[in-house]
């Protein structure tokens, strides 16, 4: 086990951070009126806008690094002091960024060059939780945010005073236990962490909504949907379009899985005309189901590689897993990770303190101080997550030379899609090439492999959609605090066909038991990523001159594919995402055809299995 050191910076999504002081522009409209009676104030012009952006970026740079460093310290060592310092520095940054975002609107009617216009747009949309201008409120918002993240990170379920489980332990039980009572106990146990979050969350929503309205948005929901180079409401329609492409496939998978779970646990536990109870799907949140492959696999014996077993047999530890993932990127022509990555990352869960185990990738100085923070388990699932995280790091490094406001992914789904795209290339052929397995199962086994992957990728899709459907309703006030939990389960049932396994208590706040809610990380990005990664994979496989079925394609070793990928990464946010997408794939549209085509043979198989079943819920 490796001792981890820490000492630097922030999360991958830093393009959204600014700070800055300003020049030139007026502070507020009331000031304007006072001043206009004394000095005739000239209206801002294009040169003012450019100067404003330049200064903004300088200020942002100044404030963001200490905030990121403190956030790293906090998340890798949760205690009252790191919480306080992190909240303090994050508030400094957020309040400045909010102020600048507001000032950006002073240039709405000024004719400026395209680059300046884009930077003004990015500046205005950059915050996930904009702060109200009143300092007391801004400070409170920062405190709440830090506290919620800490509550999640330090969360435990104690069956007795001596017998406490951490989330990592509980995740392992959810993946491996086949005892419905144990699963239910752990499922309920983890959800005891979140009722105390509810009042704080409610307060956070009120404060951030105030910040959003100060920026000229209806509410925080509109701000969150406004960062996709199209009007906020059109983006919601885009999501509906993609979901309608994917729903028939999801329904077929759901039907098969429910039937097999009924066989495993009995139809009194898994009624065949209702949503699936959420504790039986091999994952704490029922978000990806690959861990129950053994329950739902085809009857005929198919050979499907067990990556978890192969890692164990070959003596892989956490570091070796990361090194192996790095070497995939190297084979595409990416430069190795810096020495500091190995010195400063957190790879294993420390025994002596609380940390935020949820995996993340950081670029602490926005240059070369790349790190991941992850409590790695030695499993195939986590091997993929490592590739996911490194995808963030390579993206961060690719756009580091761009002006600060362009340092980010084309849209947030792109950031989430890169490492996953690479992980799609962890095929049997690749595993054989790196010596993890001896032989490759022939094509007659492919349905097994496709089913295993679909349990992760297709099953995830409605989950990826519904988290923000819930949040948007919460932010807009459509869902009031007394309905937070019931609205959550309505969406879980509607989109996923998954239900709470037991009646929820009145104070339950189940959304809080999912990391991204207390951590305030938008979630639609993962839905988009699940669509995009298959579009990317298609194109990269073509460049790699793949001649096999697309699910057997690995781009390992293709510098040509690597170069095309890197070219897109280097664009950062400098252009609308549609242009970045087209630069790689030739198309400006996100489109689920690629993922549907990838799994097409499985759809046929599922339809055969379901022929005499009553599907739906």
Closest CA to 357 of 588, 168, 78: 168
**Quick one: what does residue 175 bind among Zn ion, ligand X8Z, none, with the CB cut-off 5 to 8 Å set by partner type?**
none
Rounded least distance, CB 322 to ligand X8Z, Å:
14
Question: What is the binding site for ligand X8Z (CB under 6 A)?
Answer: 287, 359-360, 385, 388, 526
Tokens of 73: 């310290």
CB count in 10 Å sphere of residue 198: 17
| Residue 184 binding: pick among ligand X8Z, Zn ion, none (C-beta 5-8 Å cut-off by kind) | none
Min dist. Cβ of residue 47 to ligand X8Z (A): 40
Work out how close the CB of 8 gets to ligand X8Z at its nearest, in angstroms, rounded to a whole number: 19
Indicate the SS3 state at residue 502.
coil
SS3 assignment for 420-458: HHHHCCCCHHHHHHCCCCCCCCCHHHHHHHHHHHHHHHH
Cα dihedral 148, 150, 154, 160 in deg (nearest 10): -40
Residue 359's binding partner among ligand X8Z, Zn ion, none (Cβ under 5 to 8 angstroms by kind) is ligand X8Z
CA distance 321 to 338: 17
Select 126 or 360, whichever has its Cβ closest to ligand X8Z. 360
The option from Zn ion, ligand X8Z, none interacting with 145 (CB < 5 to 8 A, set by class) reads none
Closer CB to ligand X8Z, 287 or 538, in the complex: 287
Site track for Zn ion across 397-426, x = CB under 5 A: -------------------x----------
Distance in Å, CB of 551 to ligand X8Z, minimum: 20
In this structure, what DSSP letter does residue 105 have? G
Nearer to ligand X8Z by Cβ, of 101 and 390: the residue is 390
Shortest distance (Å) from residue 139 CB to ligand X8Z: 28
Give the sign of the dihedral formed by CA 443, CA 448, CA 452, CA 457: positive
Binding mask of the shown chain, residues 94 to 133, with x at each position contacting Zn ion by CB under 5 A: ----------------------------------------
**CA separation for the pair 154, 196 (Å, rounded):** 13
| Cβ atoms 531, 242 nearer than 8 A | yes
Which of ligand X8Z, Zn ion, none does 22 bind, CB closer than 5 to 8 A by kind? none
Phi/psi for 329 (5° steps) reads: -60, -40
10 Å CB burial of residue 158 (0-12, 13-18, 19+) is exposed
Q: Report what 519 binds from ligand X8Z, Zn ion, none; CB cut-off 5-8 Å by kind.
A: none
At its nearest, how many Å lie between ligand X8Z and the CB of residue 382?
Answer: 10
Instruction: Determine whether 389 is an active site residue.
Output: yes
526 binds, among ligand X8Z, Zn ion, none (CB under 5 to 8 A by kind): ligand X8Z
Nearer to ligand X8Z, 107 or 536 (CB): 536
Closer residue to Zn ion in complex, CB, 209/396:
396
Position closest to Zn ion via CB: 416
157 half-sphere exposure, CB direction, 13 A CA radius: 20
Residue whose CB is less far from Zn ion, 11 or 140? 11
Rounded CA separation 444/439 (Å): 14
Classify residue 590 as left (phi > 0), alpha (psi -120 to 50) or beta. Answer: beta
Which of 149, 389, 416, 493 is the catalytic position?
389
Closest distance between ligand X8Z and the C-beta of residue 326, in Å? 17
Which of Zn ion, ligand X8Z, none does residue 82 bind to, with CB < 5 to 8 Å depending on kind? none
- What residue number has its CB nearest to ligand X8Z? 359
Nearer to ligand X8Z, 13 or 431 (CB): 13
Q: Which listed option, Zn ion, ligand X8Z, none, makes contact with residue 194 (CB within 5 to 8 Å by class)?
A: none
Q: To the nearest whole angstrom, how small is the minimum distance from the Cβ of residue 189 to Zn ion?
A: 26
Contact 491, 466 (CB under 8 A): yes
In the complex, the smallest distance separating the C-beta of residue 192 from ligand X8Z, rounded to whole angstroms, is 20
Round to whole Å and give the CA distance between 265 and 181.
11
Pairing of strands 498-499, 360-363: unpaired
Contact assessment for residue 51 and residue 107, using Cβ atoms and an 8 Å cutoff:
no
The alpha-helical segments, DSSP class H, found in 215-306 are: 220-225, 232-265, 293-296
> Distance (Å, rounded) from C-alpha 423 to C-alpha 489?
31
Task: Give CA–CA dist 425/592, Å, rounded.
Answer: 19
From the candidates 516, 542, 559, 570, give the one annotated as an active-site residue: 516
Identity of the residue, 436 or 461, whose beta carbon is nearer to Zn ion in the bound complex: 461
Question: What is the b/e burial string over 294-319, where b = at least 16 CB atoms within 10 angstroms of the residue's CB?
Answer: ebbbeeeebebbbbbebbeeeebebe
Specify the residue, 222 or 416, whose C-beta has the smaller distance to Zn ion.
416
Cα angle 485, 524, 244; round to 5: 95
Total residues contacting Zn ion by CB under 5 A comes to 1
Which residue numbers are catalytic?
A: 389, 516
Task: Catalog residues that contact Zn ion under the rule CB under 5 A.
Answer: 416
């Amino acid at each position: 086990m490796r001792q981890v050191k820490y000492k630097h910076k922030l999360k991958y999504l830093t393009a959204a951070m600014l700070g800055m002081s300003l020049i030139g522009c007026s502070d507020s409209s009331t000031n304007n009126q006072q001043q206009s009676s004394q000095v005739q104030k000239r209206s801002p012009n294009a040169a003012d806008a450019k100067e404003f952006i330049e200064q903004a970026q300088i200020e942002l740079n100044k404030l963001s690094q200490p905030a990121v460093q403190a956030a790293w310290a906090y998340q890798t060592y949760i205690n009252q002091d790191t919480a306080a310092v992190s909240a303090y520095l994050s508030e400094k940054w957020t309040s400045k960024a909010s102020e600048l975002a507001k000032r950006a609107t002073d240039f709405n009617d000024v004719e400026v060059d395209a680059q300046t216009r884009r930077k003004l747009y990015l500046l205005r949309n950059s915050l996930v939780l904009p702060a109200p201008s009143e300092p007391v409120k801004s400070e409170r918002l920062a405190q709440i945010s830090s506290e919620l993240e800490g509550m999640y990170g330090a969360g435990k379920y104690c069956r007795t005073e001596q017998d406490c489980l951490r989330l990592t332990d509980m995740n392992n039980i959810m993946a491996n236990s086949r005892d419905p009572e144990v699963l239910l106990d752990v499922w309920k146990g983890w959800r005891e962490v979140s009722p105390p979050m509810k009042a704080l969350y409610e307060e956070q929503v009120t404060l951030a909504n105030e910040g959003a309205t100060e920026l000229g948005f209806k509410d925080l929901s509109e701000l969150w949907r406004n960062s996709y180079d199209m009007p906020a409401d059109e983006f919601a329609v885009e999501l509906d379009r993609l979901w309608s492409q994917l729903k028939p496939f999801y329904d077929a998978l759901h039907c098969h899985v429910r039937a097999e779970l009924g066989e495993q646990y009995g139809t009194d536990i898994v009624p065949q005309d209702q949503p699936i109870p959420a504790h039986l799907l091999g994952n704490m949140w029922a978000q990806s189901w690959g861990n129950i492959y053994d329950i739902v696999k085809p009857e005929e014996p198919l050979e499907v590689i067990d990556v978890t077993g192969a890692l164990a047999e070959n003596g892989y530890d956490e570091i070796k897993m990361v090194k192996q993932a790095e070497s995939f990127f190297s084979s595409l022509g990416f430069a190795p990770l810096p020495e500091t990555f190995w010195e400063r990352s957190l790879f294993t869960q420390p025994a002596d303190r609380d940390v935020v185990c949820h995996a993340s990738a950081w670029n602490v100085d926005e240059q070369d101080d790349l790190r991941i923070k992850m409590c790695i388990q030695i499993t195939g699932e986590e091997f993929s997550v490592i590739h996911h995280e490194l995808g963030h790091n390579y993206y961060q490094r690719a756009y580091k030379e761009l002006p600060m406001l362009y340092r980010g992914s084309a849209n947030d789904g792109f950031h989430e899609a890169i490492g996953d795209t690479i992980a799609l290339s962890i095929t049997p052929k690749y595993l054989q090439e790196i010596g993890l397995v001896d032989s490759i199962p022939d094509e007659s086994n492919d349905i097994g492999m496709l089913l295993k992957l679909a349990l992760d990728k297709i099953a995830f899709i409605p989950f990826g959609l519904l988290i923000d459907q819930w949040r948007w309703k919460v932010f807009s006030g459509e869902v009031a605090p007394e309905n937070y939990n019931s609205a959550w389960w309505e969406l879980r049932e509607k989109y996923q066909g998954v239900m709470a396994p037991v009646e929820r208590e009145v104070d339950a706040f189940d959304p809080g038991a999912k990391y991204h809610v207390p951590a305030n990380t938008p979630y639609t990005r993962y839905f988009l990523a699940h669509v995009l990664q298959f579009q990317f994979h298609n194109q990269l496989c073509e460049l790699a001159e793949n001649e096999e079925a697309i699910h057997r394609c690995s781009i390992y070793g293709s510098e040509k594919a690597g170069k095309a990928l890197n070219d897109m990464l280097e664009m950062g946010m400098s252009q609308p995402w549609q242009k970045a997408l087209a630069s790689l794939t030739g198309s400006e549209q996100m489109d689920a055809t690629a993922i549907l085509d990838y799994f097409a043979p499985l759809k046929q198989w599922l339809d055969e299995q379901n022929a005499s079943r009553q599907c739906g819920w």
